[in-house]
């Protein structure tokens, strides 16, 4: 299990410019130790951090809400708190560590993106969802269990809806 990453989406073949934009912005929020992790998925950049990715995303949002055009080629920024092998048993064990982070009265949803792996989305969602007794709210959840399948590795985080930054939404004046 590897800790603390940001997943950046960008237009295909603009991964390096997106990483360079993020590197400058991350320095502004005090993140100086970063590493670009290789991904063989066009349009995605995985950045390894030494700080809490959710706190970093919140700091980035504070800057980007006032100037969302600071990032020209970044579409979305997502925190990933852990990265594990894409195996159903390991994913279940990893999610068990997050169950207590969603209070019993808080609604949640599972937001799953699957890339370059044949694991069935329905099977994965059923395996992970059974670990929670919380109410499900697909439209307006209090928390999100973020699951990003990236081939042989899967990133996971529990976050607020506002912890996923969509530059298009910020540019359009949305709160999320």
Domain parsing of the chain, residue ranges:
2-171
Confidence of residue 2 (pLDDT cuts 50, 70, 90): low
| pLDDT one-digit tens code per residue, 133-171 | 999 999 999 999 999 999 999 999 999 999 999 999 999
Question: What Å distances lie between residue 141 and 103, 108, 113, 170, CA to CA?
Answer: 12, 5, 17, 19
Place of tokens 């603009």: 14
With CA atoms as reference, report the closest residue to 137 among 170, 111, 118. Answer: 111
Model pLDDT, residue 118: 93
Over range 21-25, report the average pLDDT.
97
Q: Which fold has domain 2-171?
A: VC0802-like (3.30.2130)
**pTM > 0.75: yes or no:** yes
Model pLDDT, residue 174: 75
Place of tokens 């329905």: 122
């Amino acid at each position: 299990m590897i800790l603390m990453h940001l997943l950046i989406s960008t237009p295909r073949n603009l991964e390096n410019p997106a990483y360079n934009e993020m590197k400058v912005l991350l320095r502004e929020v005090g993140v100086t130790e970063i590493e670009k992790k290789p991904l063989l998925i066009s349009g995605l950049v995985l950045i390894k951090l030494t700080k809490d990715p959710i706190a970093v995303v919140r700091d980035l949002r504070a800057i980007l809400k006032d100037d969302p055009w600071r990032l020209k080629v970044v579409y979305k920024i997502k925190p990933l708190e852990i990265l594990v092998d894409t195996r159903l048993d390991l994913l279940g064990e990893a999610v068990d560590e997050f169950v207590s982070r969603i209070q019993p009265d808080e609604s949640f949803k599972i937001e799953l993106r699957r890339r370059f792996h044949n694991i069935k989305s329905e099977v994965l969602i059923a395996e992970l969802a059974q670990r929670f007794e919380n109410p499900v709210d697909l439209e307006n959840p209090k928390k999100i269990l973020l699951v990003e399948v990236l081939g042989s590795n899967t990133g996971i985080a529990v976050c607020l809806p506002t912890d996923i930054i969509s530059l298009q939404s910020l540019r359009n004046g949305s709160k999320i």
